Structure 1
Amino acid sequence: MRFKSLIIGLLLAWGAAPCIAAPGHGDFMKTGAKTAQPVGHYRFCETHAAECRPTEPHRNATLLTEVAWNVIKQVNTTVNRRIIQVTDEEYYRKVEFWTYPKSAGDCEDFALLKKRELKARGFADADLLITVVKKRDGSGHAILTVHTSEGDFVLDNLDDRVKRWWDTPYRFEKRQSADDAGKWVVIEQPTGSVPVAAIN
């Protein structure tokens, strides 16, 4: 309890207020069956095979220390400010082209770069999961989920704030498997969840 209270206090101080989870939501996403890999990620894996392999056995989630939290926030903010948001069609003249951006890119490119930068800082591949969600208007979007000892947090190119997964306006669809970066799994919908189109 003392450790939990300390973490809550740190989250408050660091700018991520740990609100009480909405009914049916937990701090960790629940995943289910295997599902189809996004076509863009499939093509990415064809040219970046080393990024799409089974992950190393990883028993415990990333310990959310103050240092780890500051690194997560810094990577999210830095990438968001360094990379210009453009669509694949505008920048590459292609549809669903996933790649590491140099100066501009789409949402999935932001997520890929954040994942690579956090891995370079010592975060485990199994805790860095590209995630597909639906926005309020029903359109698709990609973010990076960071799995930690205190829950699943979201790094989003549309928001410099790092938030708990359930404290976002999205409907979570699927994400990379924690066991294999080339496989994807369904994210189970929380009990009592409301369709995205119905959220005001």
Structure 2
Amino acid sequence: MPQPALATNTADETQQDFAIEYGPARPPIGFVRFCAENPGDCKDRTSRARRITLDQERWALIDQVNSYVNGKIKPVSDMELYGEAEHWAYPVDAGDCEDYALLKQRYLLGLGFPREALLNTVVLDEAGEGHDVLTVVTDKGEFVLDNRRNDILRSRDTKYTFLKRQSQVNPRQWVALVKEKTITSGTVTSTPAQ
């Protein structure tokens, strides 16, 4: 996959390339359980927001991880796999959208990418259904690693509505990406904390 254009963006394009955070949000229940079962992967540590410098080498690694995980893991619902509506786990050979995102995050962390730039993100897809992707925050904008496609798109180029995601400063905290008080779709709820 070709690397995104490295040209300087206009002010309007730059604003569109980075999500606006509207305050705290409740994390998905599956994420809360995942952290209880994998505390080392959800360490409470406060850091600073970071963007990775996107060069050809990093882009190639991001592309390889996205394609590898998409090809390795068979898409299966949590209900089929675990007998429950929402269960977050590292997949071995099958899983659903958040499992793909967790595994991509794990691989990229292992390759030296900073955790602050690898954010699990809850979206509504084109059909209004809840979906999870991994957002990679770079100096060239935010990019989406999605189990539904091998192409890596800028967030603004997807047809998704971005609801909430992990905070860059603490992996256990989540932030709202919408102003609305409540958006619900299946087991995905984005309610900014009061």
The normalised TM-score by structure 2 is 0.84
Inter-partner Cα distance in structure 2 for 1:65 and 1:57: 23
Q: Residues 33 and 59 (structure 1 numbering): CA distance in 2 closer, same or farther, change over 3 Å?
A: closer
Q: Which residue of 2 aligns with 1:115?
A: 105
1:131–1:143: 8 Å Cα contact kept in structure 2? yes
Inter-partner Cα distance in structure 2 for 1:183 and 1:59: 13
Letter in 2 for 1:166: R
Q: Which residue of 2 aligns with 1:14?
A: 2
Q: Residues 77 and 92 (structure 1 numbering): CA distance in 2 closer, same or farther, change over 3 Å?
A: same
Q: Which residue of 2 aligns with 1:156?
A: 146
1:155–1:162: 8 Å Cα contact kept in structure 2? yes
1:107–1:142: 8 Å Cα contact kept in structure 2? yes
Letter in 2 for 1:153: F
Matched, 1:129 2:119: yes
Number of equivalenced pairs? 177
Q: Which residue of 2 aligns with 1:7?
A: none
Q: Which runs of 5+ in 1 are unaligned?
A: 1-12, 190-200
Letter in 1 for 2:132: A
Could you give the per-residue CA deviations for residues 78-137 of structure 1, whole angstroms, max 9, x where no partner exists?
000000001001112122010000000000000000000000000000100000000121
Displacement of 1:58:
4.1
Q: Which residue of 2 aligns with 1:169?
A: 159
Q: Residues 157 and 182 (structure 1 numbering): CA distance in 2 closer, same or farther, change over 3 Å?
A: same
Q: Residues 63 and 15 (structure 1 numbering): CA distance in 2 closer, same or farther, change over 3 Å?
A: closer
Identity across aligned pairs (percent)? 39
Letter in 2 for 1:39: I
Q: SS of 2:16's equivalent?
A: coil
Letter in 1 for 2:128: G
Q: SS of 2:152's equivalent?
A: strand
The normalised TM-score by structure 1 is 0.81
Q: Which residue of 2 aligns with 1:101?
A: 91
2:49–2:168: 8 Å Cα contact kept in structure 1? no
1:16–1:162: 8 Å Cα contact kept in structure 2? no
Matched, 1:71 2:61: yes
Q: Which runs of 5+ in 2 are unaligned?
A: 180-194
1:55–1:126: 8 Å Cα contact kept in structure 2? no
Q: 1:141 aligns with which of 131, 138, 141?
A: 131
